[in-house]
Structure 1
Amino acid sequence: MKTLIAGYRPYELGIFKNNDPKKEVLTDFLRHKIREYLETGTEWFIIQGYTGIELYAAKCILEIREDYDVGLAVLKPFHDFDERYKDEEKIVLNEILAECDFHRFIFEKPYANPGMFRQINRFLLENTDQAIIVYDEETPSKTRFLYNEILEFQTDNTYNIERIQFDEINTFIDSRYDS
């Protein structure tokens, strides 16, 4: 089974430094969630390489793959999509690209128009079986476009989605961390 992972960028979560405790908590949560998916049949995780949730999840997958037979694919949307990343974010992405099992561009060209994003989302949905999306409608994000695309895709296709909202993350925090 192939599972797509998507979600918030760090700035959308109020994370502006690499050592922010929120990042550690989110990484712990994602590690837990990824293990659940591995136990229920996920063989591949797919990300696009966006900062935040996707890169946090990728690091988790790379850390725990010694214990699981799992692949990590990075399908970057188009050439130069990461040109605006900070240097430290580029380093993390390049480390992940060096260690992942597969990486390619969905479009073998630079960004040309907004319609590319809909085509990218469609490609991802047609080539995965399910998705984990960290997205809460109360907190706006570009992730809503992918989420809405999945809902539309589900009307004619069998596709599972787990939308993780902040309440679920807070419950995880309450069960794992002391106040």
Structure 2
Amino acid sequence: MKTLIAGYRPYELGIYKNNDPKKEVLMDFLKHKIREYLETGTEWFIIQGYTGIELYAAKCILELKEEYDAALAVLKPFHDFDERYKDEEKILLNEILAECDFHRFIFEKTYTNPGMFRQINQFLIENTDQAIIVYDEATPSKTRFLYNEILEFQTNNTYNIERIQFDEINTFIDSRYDG
């Protein structure tokens, strides 16, 4: 089973520094969630390499490879998509690319038009079985486009989606951390 992971960027989560405690809590939550998927048959996790949820999840997957037979694919959307990343984000992405099991570009060219994003989303949906999306409609994000395309795809196809909202993360925090 192939599982797509997507979600918020760090700034959308109010995370502006690499050592922000919120990042560690989110990674703890993601590791817990990814472990559930590994235990129910996911063999491959697919990300695009966006900062935030995707790279946090990638780090968790790479750590869990010590316990599980997990594989990580990074399908970068197009050349230079990460050119605006901060240096520390570029380093993290390159570390993940060095450790992942597979990486390629969806488009073997640089960005040319907004229609590419819809084609990228369609490619990802058609080549995975399910998705974990950290997205809460109360907090807008570009992730909504992928989420809406998955909902549209589900009208004629079998595709599982788990949308994780902030309430679920807060419940996890309440159960794991003291106040």
**1:101-136 alpha-carbon deviations (Å, 9 max, x no partner):** 000000000000000000000000000000000000
CA offset at residue 32 of structure 1?
0.1
Report if the CA contact (8 A) 2:45-2:72 is conserved.
Answer: yes
Q: Give the equivalent residue in structure 1 for 2:108.
A: 108
> How high is the TM-score relative to the length of structure 2?
1.00
**1:12-35 alpha-carbon deviations (Å, 9 max, x no partner):** 000000000100000000000000
CA offset at residue 66 of structure 1?
1.0
Considering only aligned residues, what root-mean-square deviation do their CA atoms show, in Å?
0.3
* 1:42 alignment partner, SS class: coil
Structure 1 runs of 4+ with >6 Å offset: none
Report if the CA contact (8 A) 2:3-2:46 is conserved.
Answer: yes
> How high is the TM-score relative to the length of structure 1?
1.00
CA offset at residue 64 of structure 1?
1.0
**1:114-173 alpha-carbon deviations (Å, 9 max, x no partner):** 000000000000000000000000000000000000000000110000000000000000
**1:43-81 alpha-carbon deviations (Å, 9 max, x no partner):** 000000000000000000001101100100000000000
Asked if 1:125 is matched to 2:125, the reply is yes
* Whole-Å separation in 2 of the counterparts to 1:50 and 1:86: 12
* Whole-Å separation in 2 of the counterparts to 1:60 and 1:85: 21
| Structure 2: runs of 5 or more not aligned | none
* Whole-Å separation in 2 of the counterparts to 1:168 and 1:162: 11
Q: Give the equivalent residue in structure 1 for 2:175.
A: 175
* 1:49 alignment partner, SS class: coil
* Whole-Å separation in 2 of the counterparts to 1:49 and 1:129: 19
* Whole-Å separation in 1 of the counterparts to 2:70 and 2:27: 18
Aligned residues: 179
* Whole-Å separation in 2 of the counterparts to 1:70 and 1:141: 28
| Structure 1: runs of 5 or more not aligned | none
* Whole-Å separation in 2 of the counterparts to 1:131 and 1:54: 12
Q: Give the equivalent residue in structure 1 for 2:42.
A: 42
* Whole-Å separation in 2 of the counterparts to 1:171 and 1:99: 32
Report if the CA contact (8 A) 2:77-2:105 is conserved.
Answer: yes
Report if the CA contact (8 A) 2:64-2:70 is conserved.
Answer: no
* 1:46 alignment partner, SS class: strand
